[in-house]
């Protein structure tokens, strides 16, 4: 593909029209899908824009920056990948006949909105599309050539005194055009600066940079200026990337190096995104930095997320009234003093503390599942305090637990979320007795059994029939995790996986299975956070873009059934599990070498065992798997892990009908 830098601008001819500036860029028909746009940009790193045509006639533009900003939103991929490119294009475009004068086009270009600075001018000849002219490079080249002309005319001034007046007028015109370009940059809602190999900022920078940094930045070392705002990226990272960039000689890989630089930070209370561009000055490679204030965009996204969370909370409160009420009662009991029951037996204090930790961790997952996002975040902070006690080891006592519990008011933890529910549904929404519902078909089935019974029912038989009414299909409870998976997918910025609940219909007692069903939240969270890959990873592995998460139930006999929860993700990393076991001194290297794969997998059920390098509100505590194992054992069931690298992981539960 030709680029404007490759054209010969040594002799600038204002009369020859726009043909000298024309470059070629890809075109797509308006009916093409958004994924075609994405593929073109990804396969052509130097392509900044794509012309959208209809029957060969240009209809609009899709610029790289605008496209990936749309793709960077939470629903970008879902909204645009399988929809026509016409939905992505900008129809407010600048068209010009190839024979129109440069002066006329330059005035039109400079009068464009600041955000259109990097768009293309679409050029046609005899009403047929022939190429584009980059507004940015057109104005920059125009400015460069103006400066060159000024230098030439100054030299001629000594020899051409008679042409002095004409030269002066021409120079003033060129200076006006250069000033107009600078004025355009200064009034754009972006910051512009550039530097060469010495990494010293040139004096040509926009006023927005001064307002952002609070000082004139000309002649300052770039890394010294910006690195204090990137706390997670030391100055060495910047230096290493720029050294590699300036030693490299390929424009394509140049962009790859610049993409490695950290992009987002906060400067004086504003969210700023840094965008790096490869440019040339006097034949030497340089870097242009574009600073975009995305504060308003981030605030808008946060507001949208808050609204979505509120809607989700209200829907859950309406459809899961009894489950949420039970969860709230249990939570209030534990945080109002019932936690002491965990420490009444003679077991090791550390084991009792881990038991309490697992209960809190499960509450955190349940809150997130039912839309109590504020309460879930607050419990995450409480976990930090509880974790500090576990780190004290043998010197930790119940007094330490009492101390942090004293400052933890359950009503304060619940207040923000309950206020949303009470505002919409009334403050007495969770008051009153519970109603147990069951299908009419179930009632008819019980009536048939009573009528067909020989003689009066014994108390034992009557109780059995009542108990049968309380039993529900386990698929009902597994289906409740569907919208929670969508919430998790949004949190980790992945596609919602295909979620299947299939197999035999098994009726269980909700009350007996309550702890187990709640603890399943840890498997689903780990599957989305650790197991299922990003879209890019999955495509690179030859997998479908959407992952698969399946719950399969199989009836074994009249007493037992199996539940297999599986994903088609990365699988457990056996090497990382071994590394963690060595680091925490659970086993020696020799013992791990002799250990079968199944036992190594079971190490994830150990308290505070996690291969995740850092903890966040979703995972990393290392107690979720321990909670699900204990809930399974309490039912009298067994749990087995099957995993294969890059194929996925399955959790196989063997469970009784009645615990």
Question: DSSP states of 332-360 as a string?
Answer: HHHHTTGGGGGGSSSS-HHHHHHHHHHHH
pLDDT tens digits for 66-100? 888 888 776 777 777 888 888 888 888 888 888 88
Query: Mean pLDDT, to the nearest integer, of 512-523?
Result: 89
> Between 510-519 and 624-634, two packed helices, what is the crossing angle to 10 degrees?
160
Query: Mean pLDDT, to the nearest integer, of 473-483?
Result: 89
| Sequential DSSP letters for 32-101 | SBHHHHHHHHHH-TT--EEEEEETTEEEEEEEHHHHHHHHTSTTHHHHHTTSBGGGT-B---EEEETTS-
Buried (b) or exposed (e) across 446-474, using 16+ Cβ within 10 A? eeeeeeeeeeeeeeeeeeeeeeeeebbbb
Task: Tell me the pTM.
Answer: 0.49
Q: Residue 29: in which H helix or E strand, if any?
A: strand 27-29
Query: Mean pLDDT, to the nearest integer, of 586-591?
Result: 89
The closest alpha carbon to 518, from 485, 577, 464, 477, belongs to 477
In the prediction, which pLDDT does 251 show?
Answer: 77
Does 638 lie in the same domain as 524?
A: yes
Does 641 lie in the same domain as 541?
A: yes
In the prediction, which pLDDT does 505 show?
Answer: 92
Whether residue 619 contacts residue 529, with contact meaning beta carbons closer than 8 Å, is answered with yes
- Across the chain, what does the average pLDDT equal? 82
Does 416 lie in the same domain as 353?
A: yes
Does 620 lie in the same domain as 515?
A: yes
Does 617 lie in the same domain as 475?
A: yes
Does 105 lie in the same domain as 209?
A: no
Query: Mean pLDDT, to the nearest integer, of 445-465?
Result: 65
| Nearest-angstrom CA–CA distance, 601 and 629 | 13
Residue 57 CB-half CA count within 13 A: 6
* Residue where a domain stops, chosen among 118, 133, 148: 133
Helix (H, G, I), strand (E, B) or coil at 655: strand
337-351, 392-406, 568-582: range with highest mean pLDDT: 568-582
Asked if the model's pLDDT at residue 344 lies above 80, the reply is: no
Does 480 lie in the same domain as 399?
A: no
Does 617 lie in the same domain as 500?
A: yes
On whether residue 319 sits in a domain, the answer given is no
Judged by average pLDDT, the poorest of 183-192, 521-530, 615-624 is: 615-624
On whether residue 619 sits in a domain, the answer given is yes
Asked if the model's pLDDT at residue 458 lies above 50, the reply is: yes
In the structure encoding, which two tokens stand for residue 192, read together? 């512009």
Does 405 lie in the same domain as 499?
A: no
In the prediction, which pLDDT does 11 show?
Answer: 41
pLDDT tens digits for 105-124? 777 777 777 666 667 888 88
> Between 321-335 and 295-319, two packed helices, what is the crossing angle to 10 degrees?
100
Asked if the model's pLDDT at residue 469 lies above 80, the reply is: no
* Percent composition of the chain: helix, strand, coil (DSSP 3-state, to 5): 55, 20, 30
Domains: count for the chain: 4
Asked if the model's pLDDT at residue 294 lies above 60, the reply is: yes
**What is the CATH number for 487?**
3.30.565.10
- Bigger pLDDT: 322 vs 500: 500
Which stretches of 348-499 are DSSP H helices?
349-369, 373-391, 398-406, 410-425, 440-452, 459-470, 474-479, 482-491
| Nearest-angstrom CA–CA distance, 436 and 515 | 19
On whether residue 260 sits in a domain, the answer given is yes
3-12, 138-147, 297-306, 424-433: range with highest mean pLDDT: 297-306
| Nearest-angstrom CA–CA distance, 282 and 197 | 13
Does 537 lie in the same domain as 417?
A: no
Range of the domain at 268: 188-298
The closest alpha carbon to 150, from 57, 49, 253, 12, belongs to 12
Does 648 lie in the same domain as 530?
A: yes
Query: Which residues have CB under 8 Å from 330's CB, separation 6+?
Result: 363
Does 263 lie in the same domain as 368?
A: no
Query: Mean pLDDT, to the nearest integer, of 356-373?
Result: 86
Query: Mean pLDDT, to the nearest integer, of 390-408?
Result: 86
Q: How far apart are the first and last CA of the chain?
A: 70
Confidence of residue 4 (pLDDT cuts 50, 70, 90): very low
Asked if the model's pLDDT at residue 175 lies above 80, the reply is: no
pLDDT tens digits for 412-445? 999 999 999 888 888 878 775 454 555 666 667 6
Confidence of residue 149 (pLDDT cuts 50, 70, 90): low
* Residue where a domain stops, chosen among 241, 268, 298: 298
On whether residue 458 sits in a domain, the answer given is no
pLDDT tens digits for 604-653? 888 878 777 665 545 656 678 888 999 999 999 999 999 999 999 999 99
On whether residue 352 sits in a domain, the answer given is yes
On whether residue 179 sits in a domain, the answer given is no
On whether residue 592 sits in a domain, the answer given is no
In the prediction, which pLDDT does 439 show?
Answer: 62
* Residue where a domain stops, chosen among 360, 390, 425: 425
| Nearest-angstrom CA–CA distance, 501 and 474 | 10
Query: Which residues have CB under 8 Å from 326's CB, separation 6+?
Result: 514
Whether residue 281 contacts residue 290, with contact meaning beta carbons closer than 8 Å, is answered with no
**What is the CATH number for 54?**
3.10.580.10
On whether residue 87 sits in a domain, the answer given is yes
């Amino acid at each position: 593909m030709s680029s404007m830098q490759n054209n010969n601008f040594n002799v600038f001819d204002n009369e020859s029209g726009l043909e000298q500036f024309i470059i070629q860029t890809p075109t797509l028909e308006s009916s093409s899908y958004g994924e075609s746009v994405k593929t073109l940009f990804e396969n052509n790193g130097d392509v900044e824009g794509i012309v959208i045509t209809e029957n060969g006639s240009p209809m609009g533009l899709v610029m790289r920056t605008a496209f990936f900003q749309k793709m960077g939103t939470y629903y970008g991929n879902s909204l645009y990948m399988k929809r026509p490119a016409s939905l992505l294009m900008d129809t407010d475009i600048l068209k010009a006949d190839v024979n129109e004068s440069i002066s006329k086009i330059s005035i039109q270009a400079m009068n464009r909105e600041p955000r259109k600075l990097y768009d293309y001018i679409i050029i046609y000849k005899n009403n047929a599309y022939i190429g584009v002219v980059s507004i940015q490079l057109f104005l920059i080249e125009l400015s460069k050539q103006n400066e060159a002309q000024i230098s030439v005319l100054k030299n001629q001034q000594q020899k051409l005194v008679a042409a002095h007046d004409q030269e002066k007028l021409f120079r003033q015109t060129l200076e006006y055009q250069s000033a107009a370009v600078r004025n355009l940059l200064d009034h754009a809602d972006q910051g512009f600066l550039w530097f060469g190999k010495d990494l010293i900022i040139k004096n040509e920078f926009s006023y927005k940079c001064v307002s952002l940094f609070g000082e004139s930045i000309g002649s300052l070392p770039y890394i010294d200026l910006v690195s204090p705002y990137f706390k997670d990226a030391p100055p060495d990272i910047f230096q290493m990337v720029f050294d590699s960039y300036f030693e490299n000689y390929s424009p394509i890989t140049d962009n790859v190096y610049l993409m490695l630089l950290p992009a987002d930070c906060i400067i004086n209370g504003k969210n700023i995104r840094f965008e790096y561009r490869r440019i040339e000055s006097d034949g030497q490679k340089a870097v242009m930095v574009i600073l975009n204030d995305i504060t308003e965009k981030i605030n808008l996204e946060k507001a949208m997320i808050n609204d979505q969370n509120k809607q989700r909370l209200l829907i859950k409160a309406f459809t899961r009234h009894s489950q949420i009420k039970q969860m709230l009662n249990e939570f209030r009991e534990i945080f109002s003093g019932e936690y002491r029951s965990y420490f009444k037996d003679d077991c090791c204090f550390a084991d009792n503390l881990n038991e309490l930790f697992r209960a809190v961790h499960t509450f955190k997952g349940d809150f997130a599942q039912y839309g109590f996002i504020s309460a879930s975040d607050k419990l995450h902070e409480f976990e930090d305090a509880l974790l500090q006690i576990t780190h004290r080891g043998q010197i930790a006592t119940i007094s330490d637990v009492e101390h942090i519990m004293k400052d933890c008011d359950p009503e304060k933890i619940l207040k923000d979320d309950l206020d949303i529910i009470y505002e919409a549904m009334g403050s007495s929404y969770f008051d009153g007795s519970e109603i147990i519902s069951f299908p009419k078909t179930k009632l008819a089935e019980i009536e048939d059994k009573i009528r067909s019974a020989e003689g009066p029912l014994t108390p034992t038989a009557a109780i059995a029939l009542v108990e049968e009414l309380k039993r529900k299909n386990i698929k009902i409870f597994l289906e409740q995790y569907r919208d929670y998976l969508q919430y998790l997918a949004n949190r980790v910025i992945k596609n919602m996986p295909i979620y299947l609940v299939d197999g035999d219909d098994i009726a269980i007692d909700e009350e007996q299975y309550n702890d187990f069903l709640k603890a399943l939240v840890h498997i689903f969270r780990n599957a989305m956070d650790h197991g299922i890959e990003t879209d890019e990873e999955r495509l690179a592995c030859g997998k479908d873009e959407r992952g698969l998460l399946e719950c399969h139930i199989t009836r074994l006999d009249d007493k037992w059934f199996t539940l297999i929860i599986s994903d088609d993700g990365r699988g457990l990393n056996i090497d990382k599990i071994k590394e963690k076991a060595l680091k925490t001194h659970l086993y020696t290297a020799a013992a791990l070498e002799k250990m079968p794969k199944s036992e190594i997998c079971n190490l994830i059920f150990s308290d505070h065992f996690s291969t995740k390098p850092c903890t966040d509100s979703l995972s990393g505590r290392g107690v979720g798997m321990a909670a699900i194992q204990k809930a399974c054992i309490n039912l009298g069931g067994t749990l087995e892990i099957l995993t294969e690298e890059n194929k996925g992981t399955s959790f196989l539960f063997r469970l009784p009908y009645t615990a």
